[in-house]
Structure 1
Amino acid sequence: MAALSLLALASLALAQTSLDSFFPPASLVGFPGPTPTGNEPYEVATGPAAPAQTGYFPLVRFRPSDQPANGTYDPFAVSFGNLSPALSLPPTTFSPAFANSSALIPPQCSLSQVHLLHRHGARYPTSGSAPASFGVKVANSTGTFNATGPLAFLNTWQYGLGAEILTPFGREQLFDLGVSFRVKYGHLLDTFGNGTLPVFRTTSEDRMLKSALNFAAGFFGIPYEDQYHQSIIIEAVGFNNTLAPYETCTNGNNANGAAGTTAANAWVSVYLAAAAERLTALSGGLPITAADAYAMQQLCAYEINSLGYSDFCPLFTQDEFRAFEYSFDLSFWYSNFFGAPITAAQGIGYVQELVARLTQTPIATHNSTTNSTLDNSAVTFPLTQPIYVDASHDTVISAILVALNFTSLAATGPLPTTHIPPNRAFIVSQVAPFGTQLVGQVLNCTSPSGTGPAQSYIRWLLNDASVPLTNVPGCAPDPYGRCPTDTWVSAMKTRIQQVSFARDCLANYTIPDIIGANITDGRPPATAVFH
């Protein structure tokens, strides 16, 4: 049978090869017509207004169960946490001082360099997650229940989502991000040296690589393969990778990194107790727990991102979706943000790489997640590019924000597990949605009068909103979020010295109560017991 199978496969391959001859590539067909290239776009300098990501076509907007037909509540923007699609944030999201700030280059400034750190696009659920488990529960109960009302669809519903890889919408997100980044910053391509191609980085995980390639297709156009170099860093246990640092951070994979799950579960039992009773009353014999209701809310988000619409979405109220969003805030705060003891260490390797790029100085000491093989090579880790693009995960980007010491995002933490605090500074859908982008603009700016030498500044935009840097010594309040580059780099060098990967990620310690420890700096607290 094995021989026959191999023979059949060989015959199929031969037939396919024969068919391929009827469809020659464009390079053989020829006749491309005129192909002149125009000037590179530079929208952040030439546009009258900043471009903004405001839509999520072709996903279908739904109405929560208590929203009238003319309601204005947008669940995509404020309901799905890290499962939300990235949207441009209002300029005052992180500070009221930035009312006139945007992605546009500030007056009297020119752009010399841009750094992009982005998340992959929308994906299917991770393997073995709650949505898949709920699908098994429903399948095993088929014929034993008869749901009614808005839950009647469950009688014939079958779980049909993939796992891990990008959804069609996720591919679109990254293609669109590539196009928008070219329109904003394409002018910088003209400043690459003759014959020098950009090096962009991603990890080896399928959704990461496909995100990077879809970005490249949008940024460079097709074919993109000969227009840049794609560095693919192995994402697996035992490989140093600043874009996937959890693989080598031992404490990120034990109880020291698991408090977020505990916090989120505690909140789920609070806010979904009534929903579980309501849904059980409609299920016709299928008991629905609070954990099941939480899985159904996740199915709403995942099916929307995968299939465009979900019947699970109209089952929940606006308040329940707001609470759903907060569950992700809790999970991230205590496992992946300032409230976790391992996040500064997980993100510090990327900060070391960033300082190397900004100072054009190779990394001298590899004492974190930096890869001494790749980062020590001018081929795989160039230090003079005007454009850098790195693809990573939501939990990694949040850890990098901690390592960068963006303390304004931690101003209202720690987060309670019993209620949603008003005016919280940390909201996951703002920080790490699908396709999120953190952009560092390096600027040369003169005084308002245009006299005197230009000075180098850096500023950071998170989904198009400026992030305050006033916590950095020497960084004065600025309406555009700028800080002198030398001042900021000096602060990051200090930050690198303060954060110990060996201690925070690898040392054997326990924290009796991480949630109650009031951690706000992403490092082990004084209550940590080292063994």
Structure 2
Amino acid sequence: MVIDARNQSDTIFHLVISIGGMAQSYVYVLSPTSAGAVPFLAQTNPAPFGQATYVANAPLETSEPIVGAHGRNIFHLMGNQSPYFPAENGFGVDEYALPEGANISQMHMLQRHGSRYAPGAAPPAAWAPGIANATATGTVFVGDLSFLNDWSNILGEDMLVPLGPKELFESGVLNYYNYGQLYDNSSKLVSAKNFLAGFFGLDWAEHANLIITIDPAVTGLFDCTRYFDGIFLAFEQADIWKNIYLKERTAKLRKLTGNYNWTVADSYYAQTLCSYETVAVGYSDFCQLFTYEEWEGFNYYMDIFANAGVGFVSPTGRAYGIAWVQEFLARNFWPGVCLEFGNDADIVAAMTAFGLRQFAEFLPVTGPPAHHQFVSSKIIPFAARLNIEIIKAPHKISARRSKTSAHHDDYICGTGETHYVYFILKQRTIPLHVSFEECEYRDDGWCELPTFMNVQMESLAKADYQYACFGNWTMMGYGAYTDGRPV
């Protein structure tokens, strides 16, 4: 279990994880949290929004009429603030079943926490006082912004909203059905409570231990002193794009704000409130202020920020994620299932440290390139997860896979037992041959395990943790770093 670390935290704790009798210790920062208002969507929901037929209510109201959407869902365009959704299209390959006789021997999972309130230092908490002060001193918002005259921040801080446990519970149920037989019930697993409730049921405590002890040390995240160089770069470059995609919308909204000087920052805060209010109380008036194209712009803002912060454009991306790669390599010969829980940055950094260069393309601050692969809402929405399967097959499996039900033709006659590794991000296959030329092109995107392990020995060296985190290197401009390291 990994707890999301924030630098405004004032409590530090040490977490010991025990899996199958083997212990691993981590140090993390515990963020201050506070609960928000209780939803009452059955009373406050302004839907239906013009559907021709009855649509049963769901926990969130996501059918708001958005200009230019044409049936598309803007909640798939909110970057790392998107509620979890299975990707409709994958990363370049189709999904294939295991050939008859092949078996999954291990599964390693890195799971992000579910939907939550914003951190205390972020909007809405940092923005709401300005709006409250404006209305208290005579500002009258009109038109589409008139709801701000009575608006106040009803959200909590940095804790899961009710949708968050649901997302983790459903992930636990899904992973139980996919991998339940890999669990050795002679020992207890350690994991997050809501996931475990989905995986084991409400009696999960009979199968898992959570051990937390206080420790005065600092986290590994903040121990990497040069990590923040990449974060500052990420903020700087993402803001350039923000001023482009929100320029026209800001000018239109400013006409509705009276003597309040509505800026691009206000427009951006309003977009973030759309997602945070919706996952917290089910519906938000902020969503309809923007067109579908402007939501695409918001999503790309998150793409730039995540990639420059901990991805291949960051000088410390590999260093941030290398610890998880090292753990994967060290426990690769353990049987069964290994579950770890972290945040969005952990997933992106792990992908960077592995060297998944399919997601290494440069993202210009002038606008998104066509068909770019690093789409944050597709990679790291709330409750995102990266699953890695180790597959043992009695023979080599043909790189050209069959779609038939029997799969007898998938094996190559005359070959012996072969092990493969299979990456699944948000329930879709990552084709390993796209990132590693050593892995043969395969319809299923897998790679032979010995080949992949040899590649990862090189990744460990590339991360160069000591130099990346503490070295005397000069910070260069956006685009100078293309491999997640300061070279």
TM-score norm. by structure 2 comes to 0.81
Query: Aligned with 1:443: secondary structure?
Result: strand
Contact 2:313–2:479 (CA under 8 A) maintained in structure 1 = no
Alignment length (residue pairs): 415
Query: Aligned with 1:142: secondary structure?
Result: helix
Query: Aligned with 1:304: secondary structure?
Result: helix
Look up the equivalent residue of 1:439 and give its one-letter code. N
1:248 alignment partner, one of 219, 223, 231: 223
2:195 alignment partner, one of 203, 206, 215: 215
2:471 is aligned with 1:523? no
2:398 is aligned with 1:418? no
Aligned to 1:485: 449
> Once the 2 structures are TM-superposed, how far is the Cα of residue 312 of structure 1 from its aligned partner?
0.3
2:188 alignment partner, one of 193, 197, 200: 197
Look up the equivalent residue of 1:485 and give its one-letter code. L
Aligned to 1:506: 470
Contact 1:257–1:342 (CA under 8 A) maintained in structure 2 = no
Query: Aligned with 1:458: secondary structure?
Result: strand
Q: Cα–Cα, structure 1 residues 480 and 108, in superposed 2: closer, same or farther, change >3 Å? A: farther
> Once the 2 structures are TM-superposed, how far is the Cα of residue 485 of structure 1 from its aligned partner?
1.2
Aligned to 2:139: 145
Deviations 1:388-431 (A, max 9, x none): 11001101110010001111112xx2211122221112111111
- The CA distance in 2 between the partners of 1:56 and 1:401, in whole Å, is 37
Unaligned runs of 5+ in 1: 1-54, 201-211, 241-245, 360-383, 526-531
User: Which has a greater percent of helix?
Assistant: 1
2:387 is aligned with 1:439? yes
- The CA distance in 2 between the partners of 1:357 and 1:217, in whole Å, is 25
2:51 is aligned with 1:76? no
Q: Cα–Cα, structure 1 residues 408 and 516, in superposed 2: closer, same or farther, change >3 Å? A: closer
> Once the 2 structures are TM-superposed, how far is the Cα of residue 285 of structure 1 from its aligned partner?
2.9
Aligned to 2:105: 112
Contact 1:117–1:389 (CA under 8 A) maintained in structure 2 = yes
Q: Cα–Cα, structure 1 residues 473 and 237, in superposed 2: closer, same or farther, change >3 Å? A: farther
2:409 is aligned with 1:409? no
Query: Aligned with 2:135: secondary structure?
Result: coil
Look up the equivalent residue of 1:392 and give its one-letter code. G
Aligned to 2:91: 94
> Once the 2 structures are TM-superposed, how far is the Cα of residue 108 of structure 1 from its aligned partner?
4.7
- The CA distance in 1 between the partners of 2:427 and 2:75, in whole Å, is 17
Contact 1:415–1:421 (CA under 8 A) maintained in structure 2 = yes
Q: Cα–Cα, structure 1 residues 236 and 464, in superposed 2: closer, same or farther, change >3 Å? A: farther
| Between 59-68 and 118-127, the greater mean CA deviation after superposition | 59-68
Aligned to 1:299: 273
Deviations 1:40-99 (A, max 9, x none): xxxxxxxxxxxxxxx99411114354247xx3111112x2000012222245x221xx13
- The CA distance in 1 between the partners of 2:100 and 2:235, in whole Å, is 45
2:316 alignment partner, one of 318, 342, 345: 342
2:129 is aligned with 1:166? no
Q: Runs of 4 or more off by more than 6 Å in structure 1? A: 233-236
Query: Aligned with 2:386: secondary structure?
Result: strand
- The CA distance in 2 between the partners of 1:56 and 1:178, in whole Å, is 24
> Once the 2 structures are TM-superposed, how far is the Cα of residue 385 of structure 1 from its aligned partner?
4.1
Structural mapping, 1:312-391, within 5 Å: 312-359=286-333, 384-391=334-341
2:117 alignment partner, one of 124, 132, 149: 124
Contact 2:310–2:320 (CA under 8 A) maintained in structure 1 = no
Aligned to 1:467: 430
Aligned to 2:127: 134
Contact 1:64–1:313 (CA under 8 A) maintained in structure 2 = no
> Once the 2 structures are TM-superposed, how far is the Cα of residue 481 of structure 1 from its aligned partner?
1.4
Q: Cα–Cα, structure 1 residues 235 and 184, in superposed 2: closer, same or farther, change >3 Å? A: farther
Deviations 1:249-289 (A, max 9, x none): 11112x34311100111111111121112112122332210
Q: Cα–Cα, structure 1 residues 235 and 88, in superposed 2: closer, same or farther, change >3 Å? A: farther
Deviations 1:313-363 (A, max 9, x none): 00111111110111101111111211000010111111111001114xxxx
1:428 alignment partner, one of 349, 371, 376: 376
2:343 alignment partner, one of 383, 393, 399: 393
- The CA distance in 2 between the partners of 1:478 and 1:151, in whole Å, is 52
Contact 2:68–2:293 (CA under 8 A) maintained in structure 1 = no
- The CA distance in 2 between the partners of 1:152 and 1:235, in whole Å, is 49
- The CA distance in 2 between the partners of 1:341 and 1:291, in whole Å, is 27
Aligned to 1:238: 218
2:256 is aligned with 1:282? yes
Contact 1:442–1:457 (CA under 8 A) maintained in structure 2 = yes
1:155 alignment partner, one of 130, 149, 156: 149
2:207 is aligned with 1:227? yes
> Once the 2 structures are TM-superposed, how far is the Cα of residue 449 of structure 1 from its aligned partner?
4.4
Query: Aligned with 1:457: secondary structure?
Result: strand
- The CA distance in 1 between the partners of 2:391 and 2:240, in whole Å, is 45
- The CA distance in 1 between the partners of 2:57 and 2:174, in whole Å, is 15
Q: Cα–Cα, structure 1 residues 389 and 300, in superposed 2: closer, same or farther, change >3 Å? A: same
2:62 is aligned with 1:61? yes
Look up the equivalent residue of 1:248 and give its one-letter code. D
> Once the 2 structures are TM-superposed, how far is the Cα of residue 509 of structure 1 from its aligned partner?
2.7
Q: Cα–Cα, structure 1 residues 468 and 288, in superposed 2: closer, same or farther, change >3 Å? A: same
Deviations 1:212-261 (A, max 9, x none): 11101111111211212335587986244xxxxx22211112x3431110
Aligned to 2:240: 266
Q: Cα–Cα, structure 1 residues 171 and 463, in superposed 2: closer, same or farther, change >3 Å? A: same
- The CA distance in 2 between the partners of 1:106 and 1:56, in whole Å, is 40
Query: Aligned with 1:229: secondary structure?
Result: coil
- The CA distance in 2 between the partners of 1:469 and 1:318, in whole Å, is 33
Deviations 1:112-143 (A, max 9, x none): 11111110001111111132222111111124
Q: Cα–Cα, structure 1 residues 239 and 158, in superposed 2: closer, same or farther, change >3 Å? A: closer
Q: Sequence identity of aligned pairs in percent? A: 31
1:183 alignment partner, one of 156, 177, 183: 177
Q: Cα–Cα, structure 1 residues 73 and 456, in superposed 2: closer, same or farther, change >3 Å? A: same
Contact 1:235–1:247 (CA under 8 A) maintained in structure 2 = no
Query: Which one has a bigger Cα radius of gyration?
Result: 1
Contact 1:81–1:429 (CA under 8 A) maintained in structure 2 = yes
> Once the 2 structures are TM-superposed, how far is the Cα of residue 197 of structure 1 from its aligned partner?
2.3
Unaligned runs of 5+ in 2: 1-55, 397-409
- The CA distance in 1 between the partners of 2:216 and 2:469, in whole Å, is 17
